[in-house]
Amino acid sequence: MELATALKGQTVQNKIREVGINPNYWYPVGWSDRFQPNQIVPVVIWHQSIAVYRDSDGDLHALENACPHRGVELHKGKIHGKHLACPYHGWEFSGSTGECVTIPYLPKTQKLPCAQARVFAVQEKYGLVWIFPGDQALAQVQPVLEAKEFDDSEWLMVPVTAHFKAHFSICNENAMDVFHGFLHEELQGWFDPVLTDLKETESSVRAEYQVSYKGHMAKFLGLTDRADQVTTLPITIQYNYPHYATTLQGVSALYLMRLPVSPVESRSFALFFFKVRLPKWVLRTLRPALSWAIPRFLLQRFLDQDIDMMESEQQTYLKNRQRRYVEINPAIIALQRLIVRQYEQFVQQSKVQQSSPLQHRSAEDSPTLAEGVPEQEQISSGSMR
Ligand code: FES
Ligand SMILES: [Fe+2]
């Protein structure tokens, strides 16, 4: 659906800061090298703690991080072949089915009790480990996003990790919000943004902006030919729930993957791709150094400024959840609508299916929605107050 691009005052709905996730998507939980063989790593996807481990064959497994016997966290246990042994009484669970396969103090002839840890689909792609926390029957049909630049040596790939003490909606709005170039003014970011096109579907928001650049950083990144020259370029920000794919006219691409941890904590794993204007052999030689230096000396400075804003926003919200806010960018309003809709659809489906423990838990963990939200808190058009 095509939406108007005029900047116009709208009241922000409060429940956007309370909604849960739709877990029926793949979420990244860490870079692959964090998951070394024979180590168990605890990760959290929206309250759900998961014990992830790589067996000695290199295969990944993901089990609910709670022993079916007494609830001890399984990440404190040991890896036995492809199984995970709980540290308390040594019950062993299969990494592929979660079934209890051994109780060390039970006679071999005795039948094992029916005790099964929940298993999550897990895969590796783009140097990241991804987990599907929702209805496991959907894991095969739901794709992980496509980053076509990943295998193309023309592009310089720069991975960036971030941690925010903020709800994922606040983080996602930051990425859609091209009008905050003001914040990065001293870093020679961008200026004079114009929203030129906006489209919304059931699961995506696509915003096109025109943005101007100048300065040494813009030149290094290939955005301008000379540092003192102003270049205006179209930028497309595509949010495909729950992650981002942003492109800047063949010059750069950003895949920004969000990991919601709790209503006040989020993580992100980003893949930046740059078409740096360097000869191929130079790029080949400098690739490791650039991939290390660009995030530290360039992107991190932008990120630190953003994190400061997002966490400030979250803190003010927590002090008074009734306070109303005004937004004028229709792309942000569309994004909020999508995030709320995805969650509400999931809650609806869970009520119908009544099948998955994770689904019930996620719905219950968001009291604002569980208790119902007054109609007037829905997004409404209106003048700025
Ligand atoms: S609590 Fe895990 S084996 Fe007893
Ligand atoms: Fe920013």
C-alpha of residue 189 to centroid of ligand 2, in Å:
9
Kindly state if the Cβ of 70 falls inside 6 Å of ligand 1.
yes
Q: Which atom of ligand 1 is nearest to the CA of 70?
A: 1
Beta-carbon contacts of residue 292 (< 8 Å; ≥ 6 apart): none
Residue whose token pair is 């003048």: 383
Kindly state if the Cβ of 74 falls inside 6 Å of ligand 1.
no
What pLDDT is stored for residue 375 in this prediction? 33
What pLDDT is stored for residue 356 in this prediction? 52
Domains of the chain: 1-25+146-346 (3.90.380.10), 36-138 (2.102.10.10)
Kindly state if the Cβ of 117 falls inside 6 Å of ligand 1.
no
Kindly state if the Cβ of 129 falls inside 6 Å of ligand 1.
no
Residue whose token pair is 């064959």: 57
Instruction: State the ligand closest to the CA atom of 190.
Output: 2
Q: Which of 65, 69, 92 to mutate to test the pocket of ligand 1 (most atoms within 8 A of CB)?
A: 69
C-alpha of residue 298 to centroid of ligand 2, in Å:
12
Say if residues 113 and 92 touch (Cβ distance below 8 Å).
Answer: no
Instruction: State the ligand closest to the CA atom of 106.
Output: 1
Q: The sheet that has 204-213: what strands, in order across it?
A: 156-164, 265-274, 252-262, 243-248, 231-240, 204-213, 191-200
Kindly state if the Cβ of 102 falls inside 6 Å of ligand 1.
no
C-alpha of residue 305 to centroid of ligand 2, in Å:
7
Q: Which of 84, 88, 103 to mutate to test the pocket of ligand 1 (most atoms within 8 A of CB)?
A: 88
Kindly state if the Cβ of 89 falls inside 6 Å of ligand 1.
yes
What pLDDT is stored for residue 224 in this prediction? 73
What are the strands, taking DSSP E only, across the chain?
Answer: 10-12, 27-31, 40-45, 48-54, 60-64, 78-80, 83-85, 92-94, 100-102, 121-125, 128-132, 156-164, 191-200, 204-213, 231-240, 243-248, 252-262, 265-274, 325-327, 380-381
What pLDDT is stored for residue 383 in this prediction? 33
**Two tokens, residue 274:** 């740059």
pLDDT tens, residue order, the chain (385 aa) = 899 898 888 888 788 999 999 999 999 999 999 999 999 999 999 999 999 999 989 999 999 999 999 999 999 999 999 999 999 999 999 999 999 999 999 999 999 999 999 999 999 999 999 999 999 999 999 999 999 999 888 888 889 999 999 999 999 999 999 999 999 988 877 888 999 999 999 999 999 999 988 877 777 666 777 777 888 889 999 999 999 999 887 788 999 999 999 999 999 999 999 887 777 777 777 777 777 777 666 788 899 999 999 999 999 999 999 998 999 999 999 999 999 999 999 999 888 876 555 544 444 444 333 333 333 333 333 333 2
What pLDDT is stored for residue 355 in this prediction? 57
Q: Which of 73, 89, 105 to mutate to test the pocket of ligand 1 (most atoms within 8 A of CB)?
A: 89
